[in-house]
Structure 1
Amino acid sequence: MKRIHLLFLSLFFAFQSINAQDVVQSEVSASNYPQPPDVLQKDSVLVAHGHTRKDPYFWMRLTDEQKLETPPDEQTQRVLDYLNAENEYTQTVMADTEDLQEKLYKEIVGRIKQTDESVPYFKNGYWYYTRYEEGKEYPIYARKKGTMDAKEEILINANERAAGHDYYNVTGLEVSPDNKILAFGEDTLSRRVYHIQFLNLETGELLDDKLENTTGGGAWANDNKTFFYTTKNKVSLLSEKIYRHTLGEDHAEDELVYHEKDPSFYIGVGKSKSDEYIMIFTGSTLTSDYHILKADDPNGDFKQFTPREEGLEYSIDHYEDKFYVVTNLDAKNFRLMETPEGATAKQNWKEVIPHRENVLLQGIEVFDNYLVVNERGNALTHLRIIDQKTGEEHYLEFEEPAYVAFLSVNPEFNTNKLRYMYSSFTTPISTIEYNMETGEKDILKVQEVVGGHDPSDYVTERFFAEARDGVKVPVTVVYKKTTEKSADTPLLLYAYGSYGSSTDPYFNSARLSLLDRGFIFATAHVRGGQEMGREWYEEGKMFKKKNTFNDFIDVADHLIKNNYTSADHLYAQGGSAGGLLMGAVANMAPEKFNGIIAGVPFVDVISTMMDETIPLTTNEFDEWGNPKNKASYDYMLSYSPYDNVTEKEYPHMLVTTGLFDSQVQYWEPAKWVAKLRDKKTGDSLLLLDTNMEAGHGGASGRFERFKEVALEYAFLLKLEGMVEN
């Protein structure tokens, strides 16, 4: 690892001691750069519930067909010209950081072990693993028969498959039960729409079968020729149909086996760990539904596990003659039930692990003799081991104040060994094998940080900040031991806070480039996630969404009051739904932050949620509300970042997006930036960076994406007056 020189550290702290922020404010201002791009304003009148909105940038919307049309039509050309002009403006403003960006990129990539390999796992007679070769952007998926000393068989070399594509992603690799055919999905546009192909692993030849417009994954029946897969609505990209395909037969003749007609539900199909069942999952924000079919009967009819019931959530695991059911039935934080294989309806479920008020039961892993329970309590993850014969149980012990531990790949039932992953802000991701019988631990792999990494050089803290309504919000902080907490210390505060997705303290080697330069990094575990249990999620969605924004602002206040930083050196970052958080915070408390990074931000809440042709919209009415209902419309309108831009001073802002983003359409951040340019006062920087080839996840490839990270870090360092020569 490249480390910052002690001389530079001393100069850095000396620079801060002579009021670095004064220098930043005098040097980093929009007036020092050419004028930003002009953009056409063309009012569209949007009326709902007797309320009128005028949107001067509604015209920016393009369809996928327009984006790909050659030559582009007039509207498309106007949009592309605007996005390219913004990119050029960003490059102009950030020109003085080009060397820094290159240095950051080389630092970050330099910490990654280029020739690397995952820990192999054993399934159905083969050891499977993924490896990377030096200088290559994409993984190689491989296996060895019986022993790791056997000859390697390459399943997919994604580097070869990616040739000629600006974007490439392979997913859903599934090997047939007889180990002879590989199914895999590919996306070359970054819209998360995959075609599935089949590879003969004995001859290395691709079969003629090609399944279009899919989610990428699927499940093999036990006859080795029947494959179940999910297709998407071609307009909304909603997963809605499941088909049965027989190898060698015309794709157009595939049989529809399930059609989800409720557009608020996602669907998918997979196979049980026991390999005995094909399972169709369909679920909305609040409701789950499963349909099952014996994998030995591929032409049979799927059976509903239990009648669909609004508000009933559950997941299932098959073992021997029964199913385990993790459910919220009379249990907000979920409990574990079991039911006979032949009687799966809800009235037959019997309790195995009861509900607990302060512990969220997230999932299980079933073995012949043991049951492993994945739990979350007090903003930490826990792994609970239960001996199914004796009933004795214990928890794995972890010593750090903040960490994450989660289940890894465990395909076998007949073993006493559990694979799990462990990490923290200071500890690289580790793969550990735990003997559930003897208690012995074997560390199979620790993520290598090239150049070396000593966790003891860094400090992690976990504390709780009091929100305005008295709720205690968990906060995790990491910084280098040599960094002094003070009003002059730069701090980057990150959060997500939506969909019940918990933001855990994973190690990130790229982050060292900020920590080694004197930054503090903090995560606010705001409501809307699930860090403190299911209630934590429910208190941060629908008509309580503003708790997410208030929590973030109140954590910022706590950090300032406790002398971790000051408003002059405090920065905020979030992406996607976390970008919505950034937009709301920018409107609600711009004075508390010197800069904000909003990645692929969901900021045009009303217009997006009013349009059911846009991907994700109908699935998320129970997350945000349906604005076709007046109460939801009014509440969403009160915080929607785009609709609440006003004439005020905003922090410095860097906004990123991808032209082919299917999750948050590019026009949301583009419109938001245009409106901010028109309305904002003051002299802060406002930059838009659009990846013209990528989608929601940014650039594909192992290393290419770090160029975007380097830009973000350079933006922060520029604002801190720390642009290195």
Structure 2
Amino acid sequence: MTTETPVPVAKRVPSERTHHGDTVVDEYAWLAAKDDPETIAHLTAENAHTEARTAHLAELRNTLFEETRRRTQETDLSVPTRKGDHWYYTRTVEGQQYGVHCRRAVRDGETDPPVSVDGAPLDGEEVLLDGNLLAEGHDFFSLGAFDVSPDGRWLAYSTDFSGDERFTLRVKDLTTGEVLADEVPGTFYGTAWSADASVLFYVTVDDAWRPHRVWRHRIGTPSTEDVVVHQEDDERFWVGVELTRSEKFVLIDIHSKITSEVLVIPAGNPTGEPASVAPRRQGVEYSVEHHGHRFLILHNDDAEDFALAYTSADAPGDWVPLIPHTPGTRLESVDAFADHLVVSLRTNGLTGLRVLPVGGGDGHDIDFPEPLYSVGLDSNPEYRTRQVRLRYASLVAPESVYDYDLVTRELTLRRRKPVLPGPDGREYDPADYEQHRDWALADDGTRVPISLVCRAGTPRDGSAPCVIYGYGSYEASMDPWFSVARLSLLDRGVVFAVAHVRGGGELGRRWYDQGKMLAKKNTFTDFVACARHLVKSGWTSADRLVARGASAGGLLMGAVANLAPDAFAGVVAQVPFVDPLTSILDPSLPLTVTEWEEWGNPLDDPEVYAYMKSYAPYENVAAVDYPAILAVTSLNDTRVLYHEPAKWIARLRAVAPQGDYLLKTEMGAGHGGPSGRYDSWREEAFVNAWILDRLGAA
């Protein structure tokens, strides 16, 4: 095993930047030149170094991969969802990387979804798209849009073969199987059909990858004849498009981080002018759901954790209260069905669902017995229905699909994702594991929740190895989730913990606000407090604790490595946002301007500049003893550019050369890493093998 460290190319002249009287030298700015052969050579050398340094883990990586594969039912079929006259579902086939998207006609008297035997195709199946065929000849494949027209004839779908999330949109005639000549490159997520399926709406991005235009395309015509329906010129805002469940309106959602506006177009008049439901007001967010004669409005106007109101669909005006604001109960979305509303919410750090009958009567919450869980609505395309599809999971309960009768309140389990016997041949039993909710005390006295899962009987004497995971940005909540790959850690005695730090949304909008802008450091100190708490309470010890996070959670990893390097034995930072100041100072980069309401605008505000510089991981690398660090990135990532972790690792080596730092770059993938399921399992096995090695639990 070699321990040679690749030396970053040094012949380039360092770049300088000056802002607010502060001049900064960036020795590794040249790595941002993606098309430069020297950059590719550097990343290739880093990959070779990482492979050499981890060569001793090859057998363990293969073992972990095989454990995930063995526990997974590879030939499988999702619970079919009804839309119109068909059941829609996705199949996977053993040995194939991608899903096969299918449908089958609803038969006379059929009310319950059809059931497959061992994941076999349903009798009468029609294959709509086979991801494996589409992916042939490509190292990467991702499906963006998958949208069947209201009449069931057309399928709008889009594909990405590089990982940069720029998709080519196509239309398939499901009656003939023909893919039309209609083709639109460079599209974003989101499509919507007109009522008669003659028109398709879609979204494109600007040079900074900001979704800014909604287009109207008439089926059977060249894309050069497409019409811009809405163009958003305010660079703080992005746009999206969707068809309401009622199929009566096309919604154009215009949103910044703190302000929104919704435009509507009658689906029966797709060439009509978009009309605003309510003009945008700075700091007011709202979303719209159509229900009969009214638009339901979920909003935060004088309602920090949001309230529900409605207005006329014919002439939108004043908002009439429906569910008042309740501090501490965050209303997240509302789904309208003909006779019921279902409100998705969270309270006390847990997700929940509340059912409201339209014709009067008391609403009710759907109850679940576990102390920690995650529940939400699944795909529910039918407007006139008395059943809704739910998806449920916990740290110990595999993902489960339920149908809930809105009238009788009966919960029917349709399917629990199988977990096949592990290496010892034993069936998976949730009783073999424990999940807990613990609380750490932050520096300012705030109680920070921690979710934990471990093997039953794991000692609390500090001897157990532990992984602590965190994110803490964008109001994204790290709700409990089940992972087959995680079982390989738990069965080796590892405790898995999730730190629900401020900046996330677990405890409502205030929890988010206390971890953004000029309060961002709370995210980092909360995470350190959680790590210290796990040691103090006997869950683990600092030399047996590895921190892990991705994207904005990768920023968290870089920050806590600087803040408390002694608290961890290792740090895994995946697609990490570790050079945020440089990126947020450049308005031409993807996402920058839209992010100013999340981080602040350091370009114009000296206070924001100084604050971001004080915590940005790349800016604050110091000559200290860092824990071992594994950074994983992707060359075609649009959200967090590959050069951020590449520069970070290079600077760590230069400033603190005694440390153990590895960089692994996927040369043909994007923000989510490898696209095929087997490739994703191998990537997870690589990371988990490194973690187990650091924890001494391999």
Cα drift, residue 567 of structure 1:
0.7
Correspondent of 1:191 among 154, 164, 176: 164
Cα drift, residue 150 of structure 1:
5.9
Which consecutive residues of structure 1, in runs of 5 or more, have no partner in the other structure? 1-31, 67-75
Determine the C-alpha separation between the residues in 2 that align with 1:375 and 1:223.
34
> What is the correspondence of 1:472-483 to structure 2 with a 5 Å cutoff?
472-483=447-458
AA partner of residue 483 (structure 1):
T
AA partner of residue 260 (structure 1):
E
Correspondent of 2:634 among 658, 673, 687: 658
Aligned residues: 677
Q: Is the deviation greater in 174-183 or in 258-267?
A: 174-183
AA partner of residue 61 (structure 1):
A
Secondary structure of the structure 1 residue equivalent to 2:3: coil
AA partner of residue 32 (structure 2):
R
Secondary structure of the structure 2 residue equivalent to 1:154: strand
AA partner of residue 52 (structure 2):
T
Secondary structure of the structure 1 residue equivalent to 2:395: coil
Match of 1:376 in 2: 346
1:715 aligns with 2:690: yes
Match of 2:118 in 1: none
Match of 2:609 in 1: 633
Cα drift, residue 391 of structure 1:
2.6
Cα drift, residue 515 of structure 1:
0.3
AA partner of residue 611 (structure 1):
D
Match of 1:80 in 2: 40
1:146 aligns with 2:119: no
Q: Which has the higher contact order (CA 8 A, sep 6+)?
A: 1
Determine the C-alpha separation between the residues in 2 that align with 1:523 and 1:477.
6
Match of 1:498 in 2: 473
Match of 1:180 in 2: 153
Match of 2:21 in 1: 50
Correspondent of 1:358 among 316, 320, 328: 328
Match of 1:527 in 2: 502
Match of 1:12 in 2: none
Determine the C-alpha separation between the residues in 1 that align with 2:539 and 2:370.
21
Match of 2:266 in 1: 294
Match of 1:621 in 2: 596
Match of 2:419 in 1: 449
1:262 aligns with 2:234: yes
**C-alpha contact (below 8 Å) 1:502/1:531 kept by paired residues:** yes
**C-alpha contact (below 8 Å) 2:204/2:213 kept by paired residues:** yes
Deviations 1:432-481 (A, max 9, x none): 11122222211001011121310000000012111110111011000001
Cα drift, residue 706 of structure 1:
1.3
Secondary structure of the structure 2 residue equivalent to 1:492: strand
Deviations 1:572-605 (A, max 9, x none): 0000000000000000000010000000000111
> What is the correspondence of 1:404-415 to structure 2 with a 5 Å cutoff?
404-415=374-385
Deviations 1:69-98 (A, max 9, x none): xxxxxxx11111111111111111111110
Determine the C-alpha separation between the residues in 2 that align with 1:280 and 1:62.
36
Q: Is the deviation greater in 523-532 or in 220-229?
A: 220-229
TM-score for both structures, normalised by structure 2:
0.95
Cα drift, residue 486 of structure 1:
2.4
Determine the C-alpha separation between the residues in 1 that align with 2:129 and 2:688.
34
Determine the C-alpha separation between the residues in 1 that align with 2:335 and 2:153.
28
Q: Is the deviation greater in 662-671 or in 368-377?
A: 368-377
Match of 2:650 in 1: 674
AA partner of residue 157 (structure 1):
D
> What is the correspondence of 1:200-279 to structure 2 with a 5 Å cutoff?
200-233=173-206, 235-279=207-251
AA partner of residue 136 (structure 1):
Q
> What is the correspondence of 1:307-706 to structure 2 with a 5 Å cutoff?
307-345=279-317, 348-451=318-421, 452-628=427-603, 629-682=605-658, 684-706=659-681
Determine the C-alpha separation between the residues in 2 that align with 1:721 and 1:467.
29
Structure 1 residues 334 and 160 mapped into 2: Cα distance closer, same or farther (>3 Å)? same
Match of 2:79 in 1: 119
Match of 2:68 in 1: 108
Secondary structure of the structure 1 residue equivalent to 2:497: strand
AA partner of residue 632 (structure 1):
V
Secondary structure of the structure 2 residue equivalent to 1:331: coil
Match of 1:23 in 2: none
Which consecutive residues of structure 2, in runs of 5 or more, have no partner in the other structure? 108-113, 115-121, 422-426
Secondary structure of the structure 2 residue equivalent to 1:433: strand
Determine the C-alpha separation between the residues in 2 that align with 1:361 and 1:432.
22
Cα drift, residue 390 of structure 1:
3.0
**C-alpha contact (below 8 Å) 1:649/1:681 kept by paired residues:** no
**C-alpha contact (below 8 Å) 2:465/2:697 kept by paired residues:** no
Cα drift, residue 178 of structure 1:
2.2
AA partner of residue 44 (structure 2):
N
Determine the C-alpha separation between the residues in 2 that align with 1:150 and 1:135.
22
- CA RMSD across the alignment: 1.2
TM-score for both structures, normalised by structure 1:
0.92
**C-alpha contact (below 8 Å) 2:393/2:481 kept by paired residues:** yes
Identity of matched residues, % = 40
Cα drift, residue 681 of structure 1:
4.8
**C-alpha contact (below 8 Å) 2:344/2:353 kept by paired residues:** yes
Cα drift, residue 702 of structure 1:
1.6
> What is the correspondence of 1:159-174 to structure 2 with a 5 Å cutoff?
159-174=132-147
**C-alpha contact (below 8 Å) 2:183/2:222 kept by paired residues:** no
Determine the C-alpha separation between the residues in 1 that align with 2:552 and 2:438.
24
Secondary structure of the structure 2 residue equivalent to 1:280: strand
Deviations 1:203-231 (A, max 9, x none): 11110010111014311112322111101
